[in-house]
Structure 1
Amino acid sequence: MKLPFHHRTSFAAFVVSLWLFALLFFPAGKAFAEVRHTTIPDVVVAGASGSYKPYFPDIVKAGNGDLLVVYYWSESHAGGNGQIRMKRSTDDGATWGTAGTIIDTAYDDRDPSITALSDGTLLVSWFTYSGGAIDVRVIRSTDHGTTWGSPVTVGTNMPWAATSSKIIELSNGDLLIPLYGPSPGPGHQQSTVVRSADQGATWLSSTENVMGYSYGIHMVEQSVAELENGHIRGLIRVTSPDNLGYEVNSYDYGVTWDTPVKLDAKIHAPELFRIPGTDRIFQAWSEFQHPSGGRPVLVKIGDISDPWNTAESRLLYANRQTSDMGYSSTVLLDGGTLFTVYYDAQKQMVGGTYSKLNDWEGDFGTKMDLAGLYAASAITVTTDMQYLDPNNSATGPKGALDGSIAYGSAAFKNAAATAGSPSTYQIDLQGNHTIVALGVLLKVGYVETADVNVSADGVNWVTVQTYTNANMNQVDYRYFDSPLTVRHVKVTVTASSGWAGLNEIQLFEIVP
């Protein structure tokens, strides 16, 4: 835990011209693949050094096109002597420069967020902790983050305040910063917003308005975004018996707020923004107490007028070995590509994943009952992973189809795989199927290198997933940009630590 404070991300809502709409749905220029893995980052933005590790990242696209990521740099989740660091990418996140420290006061400097204003000004907000009083501060840069000015303290009517989400610029020119701190109810916390009418030079306590309060629970870590002129939406993390998050709306630029409405997700560190040129809203959060373990980053795309529960959610990044992870932040790149950053304390890194809008809105498909089909001889498996443990009936070829991710519920070859002597597991679906997603879990807890291929005829193969020295603990999913016609699926393990193994393979199809 990190005090009674938690974290995370919103994204500035803005209205843009119609040419951005064309870019969004008819991409040009640099192209990135769809979500390649759900358990392995596309890019490692920042890693540990000595006892210090990165936490709570936030990303922005600067006026010169550079991507900037700020993050908490500390020995632990709430280390007591943390600082704020920043890294820069000049190639849309593919590579990252050397980290620089932009904030290091005598206090513990926590939970940074970064915002780009319409005139190119950058604002970084964070909160300080000293074992007692807490305040929220803002610094600015007018040269794309090369230099930074002196900090300004944000006024509040609460005894102390924290922040964990972006400042947003409204269509009327005002800025809002989301805060949370003590509410009138003893021991409870509330969400508020404070306004600046001078581009962040001052933040007066007289402008503070409560956006979320409910006696008996903590309302913290909110994100806010302007969806239409004057219409601001907030997503709020709560600490309550059910831990379900809340949504709240304002229709007067954040002066007054409707009663918060409970959602169906246990959200930490939510983020949201309106997709430019559309009526679609990008919503992401780290889901607390997720059934699969950990605190994975989930995404759903909704219409501006639709209730939360009308859109399905899809996994962006997961690691079931830790709940100290997530807190995503997303930026829109040219051509409609999204780039999302998050942290993973177990892997001691800030990672990044590329995606496209149709990764989140496509047909999710129906999971095939491979175990049932295999038992009925409706599919055929050809493999050298034939080992049968006399004390464990879950081993053997069927073990990779049974839906279990337990170590022993798998197919094994009683020999190591090498490039010269690979191990293969091939499924013949005995007919073509329209496949929209595929899940793979190699041997749990052991390093393996493998390729995953699909084919419609058993002759011409397409590689759809590659793992290099992967140490996996849960199913890794690949969502396809367009459905694939598939009859054959093959996993080829070319290097393994000990016996070659395949714990799980899953297929999702569009049923006619």
Structure 2
Amino acid sequence: MHYHRHLLRWSICLLVGYTSALAAGPGERPGYLPRTGAHVDSLPHITISKGGDAGHYQAFSDACRLRNGDILVAFYAGDGHVTYPSETYPKAGRICMVRSRDEGRTWSKPVTIYDDALDNRDSHIAQMSDGTVVCTFFSLRFEEKIEQASGQSLVHYGSPPRRYVGAGMHMIRSFDNGNTWEKEATVVATTKADYYCSAQVREMPDKSWLLPIYHQARSKDQAWGGVVISRDKGKTWAEEIPIGKESGRYLPAETDVILLKDGSLYAALRGSIPHQVNMHYATSKDLGKTWSAVSDIGFQGHAPSFTRLKSGAILMSYRAFTDNNDSKKGYTGLRISYDDARTWQGPYLVDKTWGAYPATVELKDGSVLIIYYEEGKDSGIRALRFTVPPKSTQPISLDRPESLKTLSLK
């Protein structure tokens, strides 16, 4: 999820990065030294969806707890990082969902909740206070094939050489806890093209809905974060409000936000390793109408996702890096803030797989369930249960993330 896979130039960059990663072997990254030396296979994760009806490649997952206690996970399903229309996937990629009724121990078979003629991707799911379950995503539209020189591959995972462009952000709703969904998606309209989303809708104290978004125009080398706000439960959305647009930094933001204890909002924005820009943050004192200037958060990260725990601490799960300037050193990571986002304790190793795009749900016993994806051929969706790291003043080295204390899901 960040990142977003919208233009040919970006596909080429991803292909180069993936080829380099393969040279290190499955699940390994050159120079990667987790603090405890734990290998991915020693972590007690479970695979909650892989192959089968949901397709050959599953990614960009998100999770939410329903008021009835169920946990829903929505994710992208197709045959690769971008799923091109084919005989097997005539409608390209789609949005699927699985459900757990027992705190993440067992999961339903995947079901398709949305699939149109576009490549629907990067779904995020949340339940509002009135019980409505909202799933947001963005889509890609394919154009003509690209002529290429013999022996040259221009796209990720060897898919057919096709141009694709952003086809907008969309939303579907369920009024029965995710059992059925709207057949037609609502378009989250913006005044300009190249806006995307990679986070849940967040309900504000005034009952407005806020969707974190981001703008990414590769052709112009421009990227920043933003939000859009709805005051009629998603029927219409106000004009986008940018975050970091005037900073001059390239922030392909995959924005997420969280409400702080003082009533302000805190937004995290993905960084860009090629541009040597770390993850950034900004704050709003008026529920997203205006934003502060962006500031460097101090480390690199993609696809940040926030969860407020019952204790008051904030979890940030994200695609982390053991080197802020090396895209080959990614892993699924976590940080925690005990001072309401002023500082971030960590980094912690969730899994050496670098797909990430994680989301967390606090379980009834106080432990945490984290959902994330693998990346690569036959990518699946994983779940891991862990105990919350205690507050500590002991620094953790960026290049040696500390392993979490994990718990069984069986």
Report the AA paired with residue 49 of structure 1: G
1:52 aligns with 2:86: no
2:135 counterpart (121, 124, 132): 124
User: Which residue does 1:63 correspond to in 2?
Assistant: 67
Q: CA RMSD in A?
A: 3.1
2:281 counterpart (211, 226, 247): 247
Tell me by how many angstroms 1:201 deviates: 2.3
User: Which residue does 1:505 correspond to in 2?
Assistant: none
Tell me by how many angstroms 1:48 deviates: 2.0
* Mapping 1:254-293, distance limit 5 Å: 254-278=288-312, 280-288=313-321, 290=323
CA shift in 2, pair 1:237/1:365, >3 Å: closer
Can you list the C-alpha shifts for 1:110-164, whole angstroms capped at 9, x where unaligned?
A: 1000011122210000001102352101111110001112311112122232111
Tell me by how many angstroms 1:180 deviates: 1.4
CA shift in 2, pair 1:41/1:105, >3 Å: farther
Tell me by how many angstroms 1:362 deviates: 5.9
User: Which residue does 1:332 correspond to in 2?
Assistant: 362
Tell me by how many angstroms 1:222 deviates: 1.2
User: Hey, what's the Cα distance between the residues in 2 that align with 1:128 and 1:306?
Assistant: 32
User: Hey, what's the Cα distance between the residues in 2 that align with 1:257 and 1:185?
Assistant: 26
Higher alpha-carbon Rg = 1
User: Which residue does 1:228 correspond to in 2?
Assistant: 261
User: Hey, what's the Cα distance between the residues in 2 that align with 1:222 and 1:351?
Assistant: 23
In structure 1, the gaps of 5 or more residues are: 7-35, 368-438, 440-474, 482-512
User: Hey, what's the Cα distance between the residues in 1 that align with 2:406 and 2:124?
Assistant: 32
Can you list the C-alpha shifts for 1:94-117, whole angstroms capped at 9, x where unaligned?
A: 111111000101000010000111
Tell me by how many angstroms 1:210 deviates: 1.0
User: Which residue does 2:89 correspond to in 1?
Assistant: none
User: Which residue does 1:84 correspond to in 2?
Assistant: 95
8 Å contact kept, 2:124–2:137: yes
CA shift in 2, pair 1:158/1:45, >3 Å: same
Can you list the C-alpha shifts for 1:19-45, whole angstroms capped at 9, x where unaligned?
A: xxxxxxxxxxxxxxxxx9865352211
1:301 aligns with 2:303: no
User: Hey, what's the Cα distance between the residues in 2 that align with 1:184 and 1:351?
Assistant: 31
User: Which residue does 2:180 correspond to in 1?
Assistant: 147
User: Hey, what's the Cα distance between the residues in 2 that align with 1:355 and 1:363?
Assistant: 20
Report the AA paired with residue 56 of structure 2: Y
1:43 counterpart (37, 41, 46): 46
Can you list the C-alpha shifts for 1:264-291, whole angstroms capped at 9, x where unaligned?
A: 211011111322352x221121114647
TM-score (norm 1): 0.60
CA shift in 2, pair 1:478/1:211, >3 Å: closer
In structure 2, the gaps of 5 or more residues are: 11-37, 85-91, 142-163
Tell me by how many angstroms 1:226 deviates: 1.1
Name the SS for the 1:341 alignment partner. strand
Name the SS for the 1:210 alignment partner. strand
Name the SS for the 2:190 alignment partner. coil
1:355 aligns with 2:386: yes
Name the SS for the 2:365 alignment partner. helix
User: Hey, what's the Cα distance between the residues in 2 that align with 1:275 and 1:37?
Assistant: 28
8 Å contact kept, 1:337–1:355: yes
8 Å contact kept, 1:37–1:477: no
User: Hey, what's the Cα distance between the residues in 1 that align with 2:341 and 2:168?
Assistant: 36
User: Hey, what's the Cα distance between the residues in 2 that align with 1:269 and 1:306?
Assistant: 17
User: Which residue does 2:17 correspond to in 1?
Assistant: none
TM-score (norm 2): 0.74
Can you list the C-alpha shifts for 1:464-512, whole angstroms capped at 9, x where unaligned?
A: xxxxxxxxxxx9956489xxxxxxxxxxxxxxxxxxxxxxxxxxxxxxx
8 Å contact kept, 1:227–1:304: no
1:160 counterpart (190, 194, 205): 194
User: Which residue does 2:19 correspond to in 1?
Assistant: none
Report the AA paired with residue 49 of structure 2: A
Can you list the C-alpha shifts for 1:431-472, whole angstroms capped at 9, x where unaligned?
A: xxxxxxxx9xxxxxxxxxxxxxxxxxxxxxxxxxxxxxxxxx
2:372 counterpart (315, 337, 342): 342
Tell me by how many angstroms 1:305 deviates: 4.5
Name the SS for the 1:228 alignment partner. coil
Identity among equivalent positions (%) equals 25
8 Å contact kept, 1:37–1:478: no
